[in-house]
Structure 1
């Protein structure tokens, strides 16, 4: 058993530096010389201790021009896990959602801390946003979600409980891994406050949004379309990375292909925001966003013209070479609980189970 070390939550010390992006507005209703000015924030940690987790909140080129029907999208990259986290806001009402937040975790010391989540909280407060929901695309196997921690802090700040939301197939995932790790049922039953049905409509402030089933990486996987932006989690990544792996329990390469083509059926200008990036050396840093057109023309695994048979063979061959994620056991146990901590043992500690593997048993 792995004993967790859980420090008391202490707000991270942050420098929030305002920067301004000035972009020519393409709206016909404006004079050609008028410009749209959007404010962004770069968030920099003062702490050298957690320098591996330094993340940057920054604008993306493909969100520079905004229409009233579209959200303002802020991305936060967690270097340690290669994960994109998002704050997505309605510019009219300043209502917002948080998508796939990360809880910091060191597998060597089993220590949990909240630096990444505290950056999100500081950014939300600096922009005057009110958070209405925390959206999870799926039960992640490579990082622990900060959803429960954020819910706890936001309830204190905003005076009401912010729902943690995920797709309705979560119960099957919880049952599978709850039994695998011998987790008490009451620690994950009703862990999520809202379970979306396929294509269910909801609102982010004045914006219309939709939950979209995108299976393949996991069977419960959901995407979230908000205006003309769609947040796809672990379905497709940047074009030079391709697609997500499909070898987890319940994963399916054929379904990844179908989910990718479901996204390709959206209008070409629709912006796709991925859940991870692992930039190659020749690329200038991580990128969160691409368009449907860019994905259709350039995705190394799924570009138009690739047959399902060819993709499945390529995906399965690639998956056979991949090691299990470094935090798979810790992540699955925490994430089926929506990021809630395990219950205390009789001796007062909190534990996670780590399965042993051996060629010899005695």
Structure 2
């Protein structure tokens, strides 16, 4: 068996670069050092005066979370692939003989950031980087939400009633190990999808309503660059429209137009936007038991051309990153969705920089 030599590794890395290593592009374009102050403050590691093994570099660990999010990896799979893949090691600045963080270390790092509520601070830090690079929120904003699946819970009817009332069932309190595996924040809802054509060519009378369990990701993107500017995580049963009045609108956008689907159309939202000097481009609903007027139908069609851009964000997160909640509780779900939003903005930043370089 031939021994691995230094020049052989360098040749292999050069070939990876030639084939288009996305992580190498991340290293060239994204300055991960900007996250260090926020990471140091959130982690609050000791000064080492009491001894013990020093912790891994926080920026290196944050880059591991980026790798996880990009590739939809578990902690165990992350440890294996960092050890196995040269592209991962190069991105992290690790050599073949360097120590690789194990799965437990990755979990503890992410958990520490989660409990410190650092994900929103980290998101805002990168948003400031985008603004400094010239990508200011422009041309209005688009709001939407998507469902994010979580592992289904097998609860009895009595337990479900207790959870809806905000109570923890007594049986769970007596068994802490069981309680730790129960997600008390995720909720069931109905996901409506377009009805598929039957084998005989006919269409069902109504759209399909599929039960869905998990959380909901609410975002606001700017129309110009399609970057996520504001976001929020709730349970799946939460109404979309009410989130508009809970900090989802970006006041720093250079234009006041707001696009959204009919879920955001309400008297309360229209009054709120008018008071806050936003211009509503929200879709109008079909009148009850009446046909949709032609002028409203044409207006909605024109709005859809712009509003549909937000769907590409969710498609990217679910198809490229495999967005799914593996954890328990809304705090950890917020961390997972927040990481997906940061990584989406990083990938979008790479694309925008590539377009500018070509121009």
After TM superposition, is the score higher than 0.5? Answer: no
Compare the two structures and name the one with the higher strand fraction.
1
Q: Between Structure 1 and Structure 2, whose CA radius of gyration is higher?
A: 2
For normalisation by structure 1, the TM-score amounts to 0.28
Query: Where is the helix percentage greater, Structure 1 or Structure 2?
Result: 2
**What TM-score, normalized to structure 2?**
0.28
Which protein has greater RCO, CA pairs closer than 8 Å, 6+ apart?
A: 2
